[in-house]
Chain A
Amino acid sequence: MGEEIKYSEEELISRLKEREQQAFSYLYDHYAGALNGIICRMVEDPQLAEDILQEAFLKVWNNFAQYDSSKGRLFTWMINITRNLTIDTLRSKGYKKQRQISKDENSVSNYHDKNFGADQFDTIGLHKQVANLKPEQRSIIDLAYFNGYTQEEISKEMGIPLGTVKTRMRAAIVELRKMLEFS
């Protein structure tokens, strides 16, 4: 796949504003996997997950004029669209907000040993890079970023006071940045 082309974020954005399908193809090749990853965390039904991925990309394409690069990076915008779309879709179908593997891990104690059922994603490589993140730090990031939990929901799920969600999130992401060298 188009390995010879490499767009900078700025160039990609301006080409998408010009509605270039080639740029959209590039966008898909680079980000579909990451967006699909979060959908698959929330949606068990593979057909429904596919539908949501399609809708998310169509939404990105159709609403691209609304994207404002001064408000955030392109990926941040796309993941917000994808997460909200997934939550709305699940809600409209009567699902509650949930993680994909939820049957056997309702209790707080579970995320210490089960890592919130994220194990299936934790195959080979990730894993070294963020392996040193404490389980509860990973959980707080994952609940918010991949599952769209609100502060209240995180507080309930993890059994921590509502007032500490913000500072714990900060601490967890600071740790993540150190590991990924974005500090």
Chain B
Amino acid sequence: MNTKDIISSGLLELFVLGMTNAQETAQVSEMAALYPEVLAEIRAIEMSLQSYAMLHAVQPATHIKKTIFSRLSATNEQKTNPVVPVVSISPFWKYAAAASVILLVGSIVMNVNYYRSLEISKSEKQQIEQQLLAQERVNDEMKNNLSIIQSKYSEPVSLHGLQAAPDAAAKIFWMKNTGEVYIDPSNLPEAPEGMQYQLWGIVDGKPVDGGLILKTKKDNKYRILKMKSFGKAEAFAVTLETAGGNPTPKGDMYVMGKM
């Protein structure tokens, strides 16, 4: 069926009215997904019928809304607790005794269930609290990092990859007001076992130690770090040194950039 045929057939009207069978419903849904003009026609039919229904609205009594909302919260609470069947108690004692046993069993079942769902909620609560705490730490760290980057005194210096690692990169943030030096080493390749990156400031043409670039203890990754301060530096470089660092650079230079 092409789109014109389906539009003029009346099938779309029946579809909106919920009068189509499963096969027709599938057919119409498929056509609607494929052809915007079919979808537009369906929407127009829906809108007109909706307005028509609005014209026939009969406002319900005001207490009904309240009842619905009270049942809303009631049904939410009930979800975890099974409904215990109501036991009718016969006037005879033996039946009463039997009934009380049943009630007792029912109450034990309910208690066990309550207890179980309480335990589940407790552990869920703990989990969520931990997640929240972790998230807060991440947030704090991000706020710190952002304040470094956004500071009006921070002067960024891009360090570009050299022969040893052409894709590597790092960024220095030099604080003009305090002389503090931060490095974002997150784009350095993983240092091999027994080796560590070391920052150097080039001051008067000579390399001056800027400190080791360590991974965070928390997630073992390179994050923004505060390094040693230089009075002034013409350039910055990062080399790969034996663990613990060296007083003068001995290893390969990975990234470098000028002020």
Q: For residue B226, give the distance in angstroms from its CB to the closest CB of chain A.
A: 41
Contact of B57 among A34, A72, A76, A169 (CB under 8 A): A34
For this complex, 7 residue pairs linking A to B, each with C-beta atoms less than 8 Å apart, are A28-B65, A33-B54, A34-B57, A36-B60, A83-B18, A130-B55, A144-B19
- Residue in B closest to A28 when the chains form the complex, CB atoms: B65
Is A44 an interface residue when CB atoms closer than 8 A count as contact? no
Nearest CB of chain A from residue B183's CB, rounded to whole Å: 42
Nearest CB in chain B to that of A54: its residue: B68
Given the known inter-chain contacts A73-B50, A177-B45, please indicate yes or no for A40 contacting B58, CB distance below 8 A: yes
Contacts A50-B64, A169-B13, A177-B44 given; indicate if A33 touches B19 (C-beta within 8 A). Answer: no
Q: Name which of A76, A125, A148 has the most chain B CB atoms within 10 A of its CB.
A: A76
Given A36-B57, A177-B45, 10 more A-B residue pairs with CB atoms under 8 Å apart are A32-B64, A72-B42, A126-B55, A129-B55, A144-B17, A146-B53, A173-B48, A173-B49, A180-B52, A182-B45
Per the 8 Å Cβ criterion, residues 40-83 of B in contact with A are: 42-61, 64-65, 67-69, 71-72, 75
Judged by a CB distance under 8 angstroms, whether A151 is at the interface is: yes
Other-chain residue from B8, B11, B16 in contact with A76 (beta carbon distance below 8 A): B16
A50 to chain B: closest residue by CB: B64
Residues of A within 8 A of B (CB): 21, 24-25, 28, 32-38, 40-41, 50, 53-54, 57-58, 61-62, 70-73, 75-76, 79-80, 83-84, 118, 121, 125-127, 129-130, 141, 144-146, 148, 150-151, 166-170, 173, 176-177, 180, 182-183
Question: Per a CB cutoff under 8 Å, which of B13, B48, B58 touches A36?
Answer: B58
Pair B48/A176 contact, Cβ less than 8 Å: yes
- Chain B residue at minimum C-beta to C-beta distance from A138: B52
Output the nearest chain A residue to B60 by Cβ-Cβ distance.
A36
B-side interface mostly? helix
Whole-angstrom CA separation of A24 from B33 in the bound complex: 28
Contacts of B61 in A (CB 8 A): 50
Cβ 8 A contact of B44, one of A84, A150, A167, A182: A182
B10 within 8 A of A: yes
Contact flags B150-174 to A (C-beta < 8 A → 1, else 0): 0000000000000000000000000
CB-CB nearest in chain A for B42: A72
Q: Report B-chain residues with C-beta under 8 Å of the C-beta of A62.
A: 75
Docked Cα-Cα span, A151 to B24, in Å, equals 14
Given the known inter-chain contacts A28-B65, A37-B53, A130-B55, please indicate yes or no for A170 contacting B10, CB distance below 8 A: yes
Chain B residues lying within 8 Å of A183, measured Cβ to Cβ, are 44
- The interface residues of chain A lying within 8 Å CB-to-CB of B65 are 25, 28, 32
Interface residues of B in 1-54 (CB under 8 A from A): 8-11, 13-14, 16-19, 29, 33, 42-54
With A37-B56, A37-B58, A121-B58 known as contacts, the answer to whether A73 contacts B46 (CB < 8 A) is yes
Q: Tell me the complex Cα distance, A71–B48, Å.
A: 17
- B52 surroundings in chain A (CB, below 8 A): 130, 141, 145, 176, 180
| Shortest Cβ gap from B246 to chain A (Å) | 57
Chain A residue with Cβ nearest B17: A144
A51–B140 CA distance with the chains assembled, in angstroms? 52
The 6 residue pairs across chains A and B that have the minimum distance between CB atoms: A33-B57, A170-B10, A166-B10, A182-B48, A37-B56, A34-B53
A151 pairs with B33, CB closer than 8 A: no
Question: Which of chain B's residues has its CB closest to A46's CB?
Answer: B61
Set of chain B residues within 8 Å of A61, measured between Cβ atoms: 72
